[in-house]
Amino acid sequence: MAFTLPDLPYDYDALEVSIDARTMEIHHTKHHNAYITNLNNAIADTALADQSLEDMMAKAGTLPPAVRNNGGGHWNHSFFWDVMSGDSMGAPKGALADDINATFGSFDAMKEQFNTAGATRFGSGWAWLTVGADGKLQISSTPNQDNPLMDCADVQGTPILGLDVWEHAYYLRYQNLRPAYMQAWWDVVNWDKVSELYSAAK
């Protein structure tokens, strides 16, 4: 079963307050699509062709680099699009907000720790907010297209929020100012979706 490029849940210009339309279009149609094409080529005529992305992530440490990297790229980007929205939501509410306050001290403290994880990731990668196996919230970062679902991740768990800190995600508007991009990105987080993922992970 070949993987296909998912549609975005909004128009390319919907996140303009934080991410310009041209970046979104290139990111989706070029970068994400390339991961899918390369993944399909890597798994063609192998036993992996019938497996889900989640199954691949669970054993990523044993997979060929082309499958790990491109499978991760496809999963990460599909996830990334869904945790953003053009409708500004400000901050989380309910059980997720309570858990963030209890775990990190405050929403602002969580954002600062998350931003630090992304800003200090050397080279390309991702910043994550996950629910660990113990049910507790945790913040981490991964290199390249790795993610916390992978058996080889330093910090494993179920992602509920993720930010792409590869330069292609922000360079047209922010150039080398990754922290400025990260700060602006909070204005387009889809907290309804994050709360839904949080509830499912708990």
CA 103-104-105 angle, to 5 degrees, is: 105
Token duo for residue 108: 């602002």
Query: What do you get for the CA distance between the two ends of the chain, in Å?
Result: 31
Residues paired with 137 in a beta bridge: 131
Domain count of the chain?
Answer: 1
In a domain, 78, yes or no: yes
- DSSP annotation of 84 reads B
Q: Residue 64 corresponds to which amino acid? A: P
CA 146-55-132 angle, to 5 degrees, is: 60
Domain range for residue 24?
20-202
Question: In whole angstroms, what is the distance from residue 69 CA to residue 65 CA?
Answer: 6
In a domain, 64, yes or no: yes
Of 114, 130, 123, whose CA–CA distance to 165 is shortest?
Answer: 123
In a domain, 13, yes or no: no
In a domain, 5, yes or no: no
Question: In whole angstroms, what is the distance from residue 24 CA to residue 12 CA?
Answer: 6
In a domain, 1, yes or no: no
Token duo for residue 72: 């991760």
Q: What is the pLDDT of residue 38?
A: 98
Tens-digit pLDDT string for the chain (202 aa): 699 999 999 999 999 999 999 999 999 999 999 999 999 999 999 999 999 999 999 999 999 999 999 999 999 999 999 999 998 778 999 999 999 999 999 999 999 999 999 999 999 999 999 999 999 999 999 999 999 999 999 999 999 999 999 999 999 999 999 999 999 999 999 999 999 999 999 9
| Exposure on the CB side of residue 150, measured as CA atoms within 13 A | 24
Virtual torsion, Cα 70, 72, 74, 80, nearest 10 deg: -150
In a domain, 14, yes or no: no
Question: In whole angstroms, what is the distance from residue 146 CA to residue 91 CA?
Answer: 27
In a domain, 153, yes or no: yes
User: Helices in the chain by DSSP H: which ranges?
Assistant: 21-26, 33-43, 53-58, 65-82, 94-104, 107-119, 171-174, 178-185, 191-201
Residue 34: CATH number of its domain: 3.55.40.20
Neighbouring residues of 127: CB distance < 8 A, sequence distance ≥ 6: 114, 115, 117, 118, 121, 139, 140, 141, 162, 163, 165, 182
| Contact in structure between 170 and 23 (CB atoms under 8 Å) | yes
Q: What is the pLDDT of residue 19?
A: 98
Q: What is the pLDDT of residue 88?
A: 74
